């Protein structure tokens, strides 16, 4: 934050007569370059320089705090600041200000700050609150605070003195042509270049811009700079001789357009890939939210169990084959693995049934089994089954979702190679990602059903 403040001070004075400002990036500096200097900004700085040290609380800083309590006398080089307090300077370079304040204005400034200390207390306000009071004092918003009113009067007096100087200097700078912006390299984006150019000629002020480029710049090197360099060698053009050409300018703009298009396509592709994960994330979070809110947990688990029974039937019964060839024995064995309470179920119970009738029968049986399981668990502790349902569902969602995220990352890295097989990687990613998501949801259902039916809580021993 200290660097940001310092940058603002420098940029605010870049319009002064004879000012030379060097910056690696002028986009988004947040401060206007006003020809002749920014009197408003300088007046705020002067007010801040006097006001903040007297009002702001010193900051805590571990670097200054004592490590351990000791009765030993402090060493001579350890004194000079309060333990645990970090000193901060609000001093601004005198070169920032265009002229010295008159004695009357400086005296009024000191009196206003002393009045603020009397009202608020010495070093009593947090930095943000003090900054807010300064901001209000520098504006015209109505206020009943006598301190802010007094600070505002002083601010106007300071700005008046600075305005007299900057207005005169503004006219001199305008007469000499205004702000001149020199760019030493083209950015990959024309928008950034235009932001730099836009610093000159602000709101009707005069100004000019010019770029000086090298054939070794990244943009030129990537887009044909070597060809221009060979041509210069062929014509024996000196290294320090400038080249000015409309064709060169248009080729530069075309290069920037290519880079912008490349980055746009990259961002668009990243967004489309992210949107696949975002849709899955919304679905899994909605399921998780439903569990956290405890809405119909029992009914949700029973739905899990019914779908699991349907999955088992689909795995072992092929409706295209005659019923005699259905593997009912394996089907019943798999059902018993999930629901031990259905130990009495036998393959002959399912004979003479259609696939739909088998599913309906197993749905009814698993509902009855779950009611029995709930009664057994709640006998140990009332309401324990609801807690177990929430725990097992959340546990499975969290664990399998983490694994799914890793699998999706691996898929995203590998799917790009399918472009060599004339397949669209994004479509492949969407299709396989959707299938992986469905498999994860099926695993969540099955694991929850298995865990709940295997859940065997122990009776807590009674305290004597």
Q: pLDDT for 52-88, tens place per residue?
A: 998 888 876 544 444 444 444 444 444 444 444 555 6
Q: What per-residue string of b and e applies to 382-417 under the rule 16 or more CB within 10 Å gives b?
A: eeebbebbeebbeebbeebbeebeebbeeebeebee
Q: What is the pLDDT of the chain when averaged over all its residues?
A: 81
Question: Among residues 178, 210, 240, which one ends one of the domains?
Answer: 178
Q: Do residues 286 and 413 share a domain?
A: yes
Query: What residues make up the domain containing 424?
Result: 268-454
Q: Do residues 26 and 158 share a domain?
A: yes
Q: Which of 163, 166, 194, 199 is nearest to 180 (CA)?
A: 199
Q: Do residues 6 and 154 share a domain?
A: yes
Domains of the chain: total: 2
Q: Is residue 314 part of a domain?
A: yes
Q: Is residue 194 part of a domain?
A: no
Contacts of 459 (CB under 8 A, 6+ apart): 380
Q: Is residue 355 part of a domain?
A: yes
Q: Is residue 67 part of a domain?
A: no
Q: Is residue 215 part of a domain?
A: no
Q: pLDDT for 6-61, tens place per residue?
A: 777 777 788 888 888 888 776 655 566 888 888 888 899 899 989 999 888 887 65
d(CA 336, CA 45): 80
Q: Do residues 310 and 165 share a domain?
A: no
Q: pLDDT for 211-256, tens place per residue?
A: 887 777 777 666 665 666 666 666 565 666 666 666 667 766 777 7
> In the prediction, which pLDDT does 248 show?
65
* Paired sense of beta strands 85-86 and 179-183, if any: unpaired
CA dihedral over 359, 361, 364, 366, signed as positive or negative: negative
Q: Is residue 77 part of a domain?
A: no
The Cα-based distances of 181 to 15, 40, 134, 205, 216 in angstroms read 11, 23, 33, 13, 21
pLDDT band at residue 394, thresholds of 50, 70 and 90?
A: very high
> In the prediction, which pLDDT does 69 show?
43
Q: pLDDT for 91-122, tens place per residue?
A: 877 778 888 899 999 999 999 999 999 998 88
Q: Is residue 242 part of a domain?
A: no
Question: Among residues 153, 178, 203, which one ends one of the domains?
Answer: 178
Question: Among residues 178, 193, 208, which one ends one of the domains?
Answer: 178
d(CA 205, CA 210): 17
Q: Is residue 338 part of a domain?
A: yes
């Amino acid at each position: 934050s200290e660097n940001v403040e310092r940058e603002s001070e420098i940029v605010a004075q870049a319009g002064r007569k004879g000012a030379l400002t060097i910056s690696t990036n002028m986009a988004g500096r947040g401060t206007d370059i006003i020809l002749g200097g920014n009197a408003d900004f300088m007046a705020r700085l002067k007010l801040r320089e006097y006001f903040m040290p007297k009002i702001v609380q010193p900051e805590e800083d571990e670097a200054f705090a004592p490590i351990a309590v000791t009765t030993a006398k402090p060493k001579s080089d350890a004194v000079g600041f309060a333990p645990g307090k970090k000193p901060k300077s609000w001093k601004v370079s005198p070169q920032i200000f265009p002229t010295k304040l008159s004695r009357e204005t400086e005296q009024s400034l000191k009196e206003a700050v002393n009045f603020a200390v009397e009202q608020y207390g010495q070093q009593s306000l947090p930095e943000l609150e003090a900054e807010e009071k300064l901001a209000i004092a520098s504006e015209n918003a109505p206020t009943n605070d006598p301190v802010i009113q007094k600070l505002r009067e002083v601010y106007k007096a300071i700005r008046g003195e600075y305005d007299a100087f900057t207005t005169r200097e503004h006219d001199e700078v305008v007469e000499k042509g205004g702000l001149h912006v020199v760019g030493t390299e083209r950015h990959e984006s024309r928008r950034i270049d235009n932001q730099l150019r836009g610093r000159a000629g602000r709101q009707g002020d005069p100004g000019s811009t010019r770029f000086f480029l090298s054939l070794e710049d990244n943009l030129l090197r990537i887009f044909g700079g070597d060809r221009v360099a060979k041509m210069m060698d062929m014509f024996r053009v000196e290294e320090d001789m400038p080249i000015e050409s409309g064709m060169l300018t248009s080729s530069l703009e075309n290069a920037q357009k290519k880079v912008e298009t490349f980055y746009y396509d990259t961002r668009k592709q990243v967004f489309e890939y992210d949107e696949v994960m975002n849709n899955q994330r919304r679905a899994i979070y909605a399921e998780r939210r439903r569990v956290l809110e405890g809405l119909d947990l029992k009914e949700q688990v029973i739905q899990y169990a019914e779908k699991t029974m349907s999955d088992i039937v689909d795995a072992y019964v092929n409706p295209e084959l005659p019923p005699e060839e259905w593997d009912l024995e394996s089907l019943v064995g798999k059902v018993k693995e999930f629901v031990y309470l259905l130990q009495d179920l036998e393959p002959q119970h399912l004979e003479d049934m259609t696939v739909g009738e088998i599913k309906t029968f197993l749905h009814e049986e698993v509902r009855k089994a779950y009611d029995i399981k709930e009664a057994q668990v709640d006998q140990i502790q009332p309401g324990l089954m609801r807690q177990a349902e929430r725990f097992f569902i959340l546990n499975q969602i969290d664990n399998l979702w983490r694994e799914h995220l890793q699998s999706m990352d691996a898929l995203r890295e590998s799917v790009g190679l399918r472009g060599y097989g004339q397949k669209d990687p994004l479509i492949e990613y969407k299709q396989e990602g959707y299938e992986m998501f469905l498999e994860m949801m099926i695993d969540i259902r099955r694991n929850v059903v298995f865990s709940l039916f295997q859940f065997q809580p122990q009776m807590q021993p009674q305290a004597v």
